[in-house]
């Protein structure tokens, strides 16, 4: 995996992010003191779960020759009492049997980001200067 680097961007909270040769932005909403020029960190976290889920379903369905035309994954994150709750909705499009849909739901819960977020997480931080 490429390392992700964040550093100050334009405006009060914008961050310039890089992952290898890719460049993108993160920011806070205007109502939260940012400029609204990019997804918030929480939106990127939701996007990671949504994208990973959809990719995992596409790979699995392809290997099993299922007629999955698209998987539309929507993620919302809410925080209450120091608990992050991820609400994930999955819409499966294509000519799929009930059994295939049920299996795809099981597979969705095995995507690497789902496993990372629902498992034990360690964050190791060090100051390097």
User: What was the pLDDT predicted at 71?
Assistant: 98
User: What was the pLDDT predicted at 119?
Assistant: 92
Whole-prediction pTM value?
Answer: 0.93
Q: Which two tokens stand for residue 72?
A: 């539309």
Of 107, 121, 27, 15, nearest to 61 by C-alpha is: 107
Long-range contacts made by residues 70-77, C-beta under 8 angstroms, separation at least 24?
70/94, 71/104, 73/49, 73/108, 74/50, 75/46, 75/47, 75/49, 75/50, 76/46, 77/42, 77/45, 77/46
Reduced to 3 states (helix: H, G, I; strand: E, B; else coil), residue 25 is strand
Scanning the structure block, which residue is given the tokens 């739901």? 105
Per-residue pLDDT tens for 32-49?
999 999 999 999 999 999
Mean pLDDT along residues 84-105: 97
């Amino acid at each position: 995996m490429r390392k992700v680097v964040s550093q100050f961007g334009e405006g009060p909270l914008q961050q310039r992010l890089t992952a290898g040769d890719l460049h993108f932005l993160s920011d806070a909403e205007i109502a939260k003191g940012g400029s609204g020029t990019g997804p918030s960190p929480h939106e990127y976290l939701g996007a990671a779960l949504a994208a990973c889920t959809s990719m995992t379903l596409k790979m699995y369905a392809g290997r099993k020759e299922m007629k999955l035309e698209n998987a539309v994954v929507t993620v919302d994150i809410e925080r209450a009492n120091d608990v992050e709750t991820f609400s994930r909705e999955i819409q499966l499009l294509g000519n799929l049997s009930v059994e295939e849909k049920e299996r795809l739901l099981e597979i969705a819960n095995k995507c690497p980001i789902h496993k990372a977020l629902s498992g034990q997480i360690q964050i190791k931080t060090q100051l390097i200067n």
